[in-house]
Amino acid sequence: MRLFLDTNVLLDVLADRKPYANDAALILSAIESGEAEGVIAAHTATTLFYLLERDLGLRRANSALADLLKLVEVVAVDHDRLLHAMAMNWEDFEDAVQAACAAKAEVDYFVTRNPSDFSDSDLEIISPAELVATFSKPDVTEDDESPG
């Protein structure tokens, strides 16, 4: 399962923003264990670094970003992605760039705490809490359901 992680989800875990940090941490754990693949847009890394350095300091920001980049694939914000985002004509250009990068990465889910910001997208949008709920559901097959 390929997951595109919106900036807010990553900031939740890296800055330990309660009450959202736990779900975000579980998602990163799933990526780290190989249960899922994580994808971010290149500008997400710069935004995260800026915010983390401001709040946590240079050393912790560097460490957090280095650890994150070991886990995720980064999609370039290039000429084509920017044109794609502009063609979407959304009010929030940064959200459009995120969606354009996610589309390029061919992800299964776009994970965000702000699903309504992406309602015009063709992507499968899911909140961290909804995604984590799918992790805890056991796979049930017809054989499992038959009386024994």
- How far apart CA 100 and CA 122 sit, in angstroms, is 10
Is residue 18 domain-resident?
Answer: yes
Structural domain harbouring 24: 2-135
Is residue 143 domain-resident?
Answer: no
Is residue 148 domain-resident?
Answer: no
Show the beta-strand stretches assigned E in 53-108: 72-75
Is residue 144 domain-resident?
Answer: no
Is residue 102 domain-resident?
Answer: yes
Is residue 90 domain-resident?
Answer: yes
* pLDDT tens per residue across span 32-75: 999 999 999 999 999 999 999 999 999 999 999 999 999 999 99
Q: What angle do CA 4, 124, 104 make, to 5 degrees?
A: 50
Is residue 51 domain-resident?
Answer: yes
Cβ–Cβ under 8 Å, residues 8 and 114: yes
Is residue 64 domain-resident?
Answer: yes
- How far apart CA 75 and CA 103 sit, in angstroms, is 10
Q: How many domains does the chain have?
A: 1
Kindly report the CATH number assigned to the domain that includes residue 131. 3.40.50.1010
Position 135 confidence tier, pLDDT thresholds 50, 70, 90: confident
This prediction's pTM: 0.89
% of the chain beyond a pLDDT of 70: 91
Residue 106: CB atoms within 10 Å: 9
